[in-house]
Structure 1
Amino acid sequence: MTLNRSLARGLFLAAVALFFGLGALRYPIGRMDHAGPGLFPLMISILLGLVALATIVRGVVAGGPGLDFKVRNIGLILAALCAFSLVSRFLNMSAGIVVMVFIATAAGSNYSWKRNLVISVGLLAIAFIFQKFLGLNLPLL
């Protein structure tokens, strides 16, 4: 059995579900009529685990395209995250978001500066909503 994309996705989802599910067990679960702080993350982890199981089964039974690592793309995503951090620290987070989008999308198959602009505007709108309505201290300007 070779590692294909579906199988790799399923294993990754299973690891995330297990990590958060085990973390949720450190908190009181409570009952369904009086939930404790660990009930919601445990329920979400169980649901994610079921999705992971279905994805693993699909990957084993149906197969799929092989998993290949493109070092260039991994490097671009890491560079985008580093650029976001540096630009946010020395300029502001709005500029960091735009820089991150323009670098990260270079890892895709087709590059469009118009699409990057739309994505940047959407992410900036979400960041402003988080700042204004949720009261998060984001250095956007």
Structure 2
Amino acid sequence: MVNQNAARGVVLSAIALCFGLTALRYPIGSFAHAGAGLFPLIISSLLLLIGLLTLVKAWFEPATPLHFAWRNIGIILLALVAFVVAAKVASMILGIVLLVMIASLAATSYSWKRVLATSVALVAIALAFQMLLGLNLQVI
């Protein structure tokens, strides 16, 4: 039997190592003058720490069997595809709303209030990234 917690730690650590090693190809710089690789290296280091802590925690907890919820995986993939198509065809706002609406179907309970609140928050974050940080996002 594969332990779900151990598998989670291994996957998180592997993802962190992939991104961390890729970040080393870019200039790191310093905290005063950050290079392109500094932020991904910091985030991947934190993710690696979480993955290793999850692995250590898995040693001390009873094993839980690993199972896949294929329906939920399909729903999340469908939500991502709907986001990309809607963002390309119409607008990113529609894509965000569709992403949240479809992805929330994978939850154990559906709440239109939670979907609305999450959509509004994500649209506000996207607008803040566009206006305050000057990112080239086609939100509106």
Q: How would you bin the TM-score normalised by the shorter chain? A: 0.7 to 0.9
Aligned to 1:93: 92
Q: Distance in 1 between matches of 2:57 and 2:33?
A: 37
| Count of aligned positions | 140
Identity of aligned residues (%): 52
Q: How far apart, in 1, do the equivalents of 2:39 and 2:131 lie?
A: 27
Distance in 2, matches of 1:132 and 1:36, equals 23
Which 10-residue stretch deviates more, 86-95 or 43-52? 43-52
> 1:36–1:5: structure 2 CA closer, same or farther, 3 Å change rule?
same
- Report the counterpart of residue 11 of structure 2 in structure 1: 12
Greater CA drift, 39-48 or 72-81: 39-48
The amino acid of 2:14's aligned partner reads: A
**Counterpart residue identity of residue 106, structure 2:** A
5+ long unaligned stretches in structure 1 = none
What's 2:124 paired with? Answer: 125
Q: Relative to structure 2, which stretch is displaced further, 74-83 or 23-32?
A: 23-32
TM-score by structure 1 length? 0.83
> Which range moves more in the overlay, 42-51 or 126-135?
42-51
- Offset, 1:32: 9.2
CA distance in 1 between partners of 2:86 and 2:34 (Å): 42
Match of 2:105 in 1: 106
Instruction: Give the conservation status (yes or no) of the 8 Å contact 1:6–1:63.
Output: no
Question: Which residue of structure 2 aligns with residue 137 of structure 1?
Answer: 136
Instruction: Provide the C-alpha distance between the structure 2 equivalents of 1:33 and 1:126, rounded to a whole number of angstroms.
Output: 26
Match for residue 84 of structure 1? 83
Cα distance in structure 2, aligned partners of 1:52 and 1:62? 15
CA distance in 2, matches of 1:68, 1:130: 37
Distance (whole Å) between structure 1 residues aligned to residue 29 and residue 132 of structure 2: 31
1:30-53 Cα distance to aligned partner (Å, 9 max, x none):
789998765665455444333322
1:72 aligns with 2:71: yes
After superposition, the C-alpha distances for 1:9-65 in whole angstroms (9 at most, x for unaligned) are 211111022112322333466789998765665455444333322211211331343
**Post-superposition shift, 1:79?**
0.4
Seen in structure 2, the aligned counterparts of structure 1 residues 85 and 35 have a Cα distance that, compared at 3 Å, is: closer
3-state DSSP of counterpart to 1:106: helix
Long gaps (5+) in structure 2: none
- Which residue number corresponds to residue 53 of structure 1? 52
